[in-house]
Amino acid sequence: MTEGPVGTGGPESFRGEIRDWLASHVPNVPLPSVDTAEGFERHREWERELAAARWSVVSWPARYGGRDATLAEWLAFEEEYYAAGAPVRVGQNGLFLLAPTLFAHGTPEQQDRLLPPMARADEIWAQAWSEPEAGSDLAAIRSRAVRADGGWLVSGSKTWSTRAAFADRAFGLFRTDPAAERRSVSKHRGLTYLLLSLRAPGVNVRPIRQLGGGTGFAEIFLDDVFVPDADVVGAPGDGWRIAMSTAGHERGLSLRSPGRFLAAADRLVALWREAADPADSAMRHRVADAWIGARAYHLHTMATVARLSPGGGAGSEKSVPGAEASMGKVFWSQLDLALHETALDLLGPHAELRGDPWLEGYLFALAGPIYAGTNEIQRTVIGERVLGLPR
**What is the DSSP track for 337-389?**
HHHHHHHHHHHGGGGG-TT-HHHHHHHHHTTTTTSSS-HHHHHHHIIIIIS--
- Residue 250 known to be catalytic: yes
B/e letters for 120-132, b = 16+ CB within 10 Å, e = fewer, are bbebbbbbbbbbe
Instruction: State yes or no: residue 300 binds other proteins (CB under 8 A).
Output: yes
Which residues have CB under 8 Å from 105's CB, separation 6+? Answer: 193, 233, 234, 242, 245
| Candidate segments 54-62, 221-229, 258-266, 353-361, binder of other proteins by CB under 8 A | 258-266
**Binding residue (CB under 8 A) for other proteins from 273, 350, 353, 357:** 273
Cβ proximity to other proteins, 288 vs 363, nearer residue:
288
CB 309 within 8 Å of CB 1: yes
| Candidate segments 94-102, 144-152, 232-240, 377-385, binder of other proteins by CB under 8 A | 377-385
Instruction: State yes or no: residue 383 binds other proteins (CB under 8 A).
Output: yes
Sites for other proteins among residues 122-181 (CB under 8 A): none
In sequence order, the β-bridge partners of residue 147 are: 152
Cα-flanking dihedrals φ and ψ of residue 183, to 5°? -85, 95
- Please report which residue ranges of 205-280 form alpha helices under DSSP H: 239-251, 258-275
DSSP assignment letter at 217: E
Distance CA 215, CA 209 (A): 5
| Candidate segments 15-23, 140-148, 248-256, 264-272, binder of other proteins by CB under 8 A | 264-272
DSSP assignment letter at 139: G
Instruction: State yes or no: residue 182 binds other proteins (CB under 8 A).
Output: no
- Size of interface with other proteins, in residues (CB under 8 A): 39
Cβ proximity to other proteins, 34 vs 255, nearer residue:
255
Sites for other proteins among residues 324-343 (CB under 8 A): 327, 330-331
Rg (CA), the chain: 21
**Binding residue (CB under 8 A) for other proteins from 89, 175, 298, 318:** 298
| Candidate segments 165-173, 178-186, 240-248, 373-381, binder of other proteins by CB under 8 A | 373-381
In sequence order, the β-bridge partners of residue 183 are: none
Cβ proximity to other proteins, 53 vs 292, nearer residue:
292
- Look at strands 125-128 and 169-175 and give their pairing: parallel
- Please state, as a whole number, how many other Cβ atoms lie within 10 Å of the Cβ of residue 324: 16
DSSP assignment letter at 319: S
**Binding residue (CB under 8 A) for other proteins from 154, 264, 287, 359:** 287
Instruction: State yes or no: residue 380 binds other proteins (CB under 8 A).
Output: yes
| Candidate segments 41-49, 55-63, 195-203, 289-297, binder of other proteins by CB under 8 A | 289-297
> Active site residue: 73, 79, 131, 250, which one?
250
**Binding residue (CB under 8 A) for other proteins from 26, 269, 271, 370:** 269
Question: At closest approach, how far in Å is the CB of 316 from other proteins?
Answer: 24
Compute the C-alpha angle 39/266/12, nearest 5°.
90
Cβ proximity to other proteins, 110 vs 334, nearer residue:
334
Instruction: State yes or no: residue 382 binds other proteins (CB under 8 A).
Output: yes
CB 181 within 8 Å of CB 187: yes
Distance CA 125, CA 137 (A): 23
Sites for other proteins among residues 67-126 (CB under 8 A): none
Instruction: List active site positions.
Output: 250
Residues in touch with other proteins (CB under 8 A): 262, 265-266, 269, 273, 281, 284-285, 287-289, 291-300, 302-303, 327, 330-331, 376, 378-380, 382-384, 386-391
